[in-house]
């Protein structure tokens, strides 16, 4: 499974990269607002040290506006994936960008049918929002399973990018189902390393090592 950092915070992205976990980055208007920096500037900085896809979302809702904005965003770097919402206009823009060889991340997916349409429009990534479905008592993982089955039934190339990931358990479940990617806040990605028995094991090994009175260097 590939991991994207779901943040526009450059320091956080660098840390995930240093841990060897980073396959790309997703941003959205809320994350850009949180970073408090000019959109194009921060995306350019991210692209300067991230080799994988970096999603940058259009703000326009109409087809012409999405094309205009996407044309500006894709010039920032070769690894930009244009993020468009799952609407009729977004699907039209997806079709144009993907036919021109630009990666497209179709975002705000909440149903299997929406995911089917995104695949037909040539999306590189479909972003089903697991956490936001869980928030309204709908099982987000069931959506990931349905999309996996549909994409496999018809051999669609579109990658399932499990999004709106809130917990380590979301990652585990999405990986078991076979989601191709997960995008998660850096804190969730870093949290995957945690296990109390690891901490306990380190503690007892350290105590025993001290008893030997030895040093390695
Ligand atoms: C996906 O690309 C989105 O940026 C993100 O996963 C949304 O997550 P949220 O529901 O925690 O805002």
Nearest CA to ligand 1 atom 7: 164
Nearest CA to ligand 1 atom 12: 164
Q: Percent of the chain scored above 90 by pLDDT?
A: 100
What is the position in ligand 1's atom list of the atom closest to the CA of 131? 10
CA angle, residues 165, 169, 173, in degrees to nearest 5: 90
d(CA 197, CA 8): 33
Residue whose CB lies within 8 A of the most ligand 1 atoms, among 56, 128, 129, for a mutation test: 129
DSSP secondary structure string, 166-196?
-SHHHHHHHHHHT-SEEEE-HHHHHHTT--H
- Tell me which fold the domain 2-212 belongs to: TIM Barrel (3.20.20)
Q: Percent of the chain scored above 70 by pLDDT?
A: 100
Q: For ligand 1, is residue 129 a contact (CB within 6 Å)?
A: yes
Residue whose CB lies within 8 A of the most ligand 1 atoms, among 163, 170, 181, for a mutation test: 163
Q: For ligand 1, is residue 7 a contact (CB within 6 Å)?
A: no
SS3 146: helix
Reported confidence tier of residue 112, pLDDT bands at 50, 70, 90: very high
The number of beta carbons lying within 10 Å of the beta carbon of residue 39 is 18
pLDDT for the residue numbered 187: 98
Contact yes or no for 57/26 (Cβ under 8 A): no
pLDDT for the residue numbered 61: 98
Contact yes or no for 70/55 (Cβ under 8 A): no
Q: What pTM, to 2 d.p., does this model score?
A: 0.96
Across all residues in the chain, what is the average pLDDT?
98
pLDDT for the residue numbered 111: 98
Average confidence (pLDDT) over 56-74: 98
Q: How far apart are the first and last CA of the chain?
A: 38
Q: Enumerate the domain spans of the chain.
A: 2-212
pLDDT tens, position by position, 134-185 = 999 999 999 999 999 999 999 999 999 999 999 999 999 999 999 999 999 9
pLDDT for the residue numbered 69: 98
- Active-site residues, by number, are 83
């Amino acid at each position: 499974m590939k991991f994207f950092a779901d943040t526009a915070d450059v320091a956080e992205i660098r840390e995930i990269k240093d841990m060897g976990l980073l396959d790309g980055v997703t941003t959205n208007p809320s994350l850009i607002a949180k970073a408090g920096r000019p959109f194009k500037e921060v995306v350019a900085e991210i692209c300067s040290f991230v080799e994988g896809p970096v999603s940058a979302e259009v703000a326009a809702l109409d087809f012409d506006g999405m094309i205009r904005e996407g044309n500006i965003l894709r010039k920032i770097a070769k690894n930009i994936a244009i993020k468009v919402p799952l609407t009729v206009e977004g699907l039209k823009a997806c079709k144009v960008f993907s036919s021109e060889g630009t990666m497209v991340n179709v975002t705000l997916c909440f149903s299997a049918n929406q995911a089917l349409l995104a695949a037909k429009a040539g999306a590189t990534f479909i972003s089903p929002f697991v956490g936001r479905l869980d928030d309204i008592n709908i099982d987000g993982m069931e959506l990931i399973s349905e999309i996996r089955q549909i994409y496999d039934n018809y051999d669609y190339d579109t990658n399932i990018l499990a999004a709106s990931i809130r917990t380590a358990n979301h990652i585990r479940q999405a990986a078991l189902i076979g989601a191709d990617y997960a995008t998660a806040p850096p804190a969730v990605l870093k949290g995957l390393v945690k296990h109390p028995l690891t901490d306990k094991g380190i503690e007892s090994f350290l105590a025993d090592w001290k008893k030997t009175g030895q040093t390695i260097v």
